[in-house]
Copies of this chain bind each other. A is one copy, B any other.
């Protein structure tokens, strides 16, 4: 859909390679590992090029976040559900995906980066991450919830609030624990997703 001609974020293949190296450094060693000299060495480019392309270190960090957000872009859901079993299945799938995304190395690294920057600074990266990442997912699932309500399968006042409840039931404090260094256990995603959706349906199902 969106032509790659969106000039604001038009990065050449070479620049995308560099951003890929930057993300890898970030995942492996955190913000401290993402130095201009280190990135230049890892990506076989010159520091001068980095400053030419991204302005300064902050621009580089923002570019990495946008780079990753662009990769995660999920295609819109096919809009053809309707019975209760299908809704449950959709929600469980969403829950598993959400847990997998939040537990991924890249997501954790970028969230850690943005959270580290949020102190003292104006939370630029935090807003960026919020806007590019969670917001998209939220809009998508809220649309699903509203469709289900129109079909008489769910009851709630406000989609945003219902989504917040669903999110809380799925994620609880796992995300924070992962951010603090706990290792994710992918095998637990499935059961957790099922339980969370069951609780959600008990709260908002018809």
Contacts and interface: CB of A to CB of B under 8 A. Distances in A.
A146 interface: no
Interface residues of A, number: 46
A169 interface: yes
Nearest to A118: B181
Contact of A167 (B112, B119, B173): B173
A30 to B, nearest CB: 3
A75 interface: no
A29 interface: yes
Given A134-B173, A180-B115, A181-B127, A120 B168 contact: no
Given A30-B118, A114-B181, A126-B182, 20 more contacts: A26-B119, A31-B116, A32-B119, A33-B119, A33-B120, A111-B115, A112-B118, A115-B115, A118-B180, A123-B181, A127-B180, A130-B182, A161-B195, A164-B172, A167-B168, A167-B173, A168-B168, A168-B169, A168-B171, A168-B173
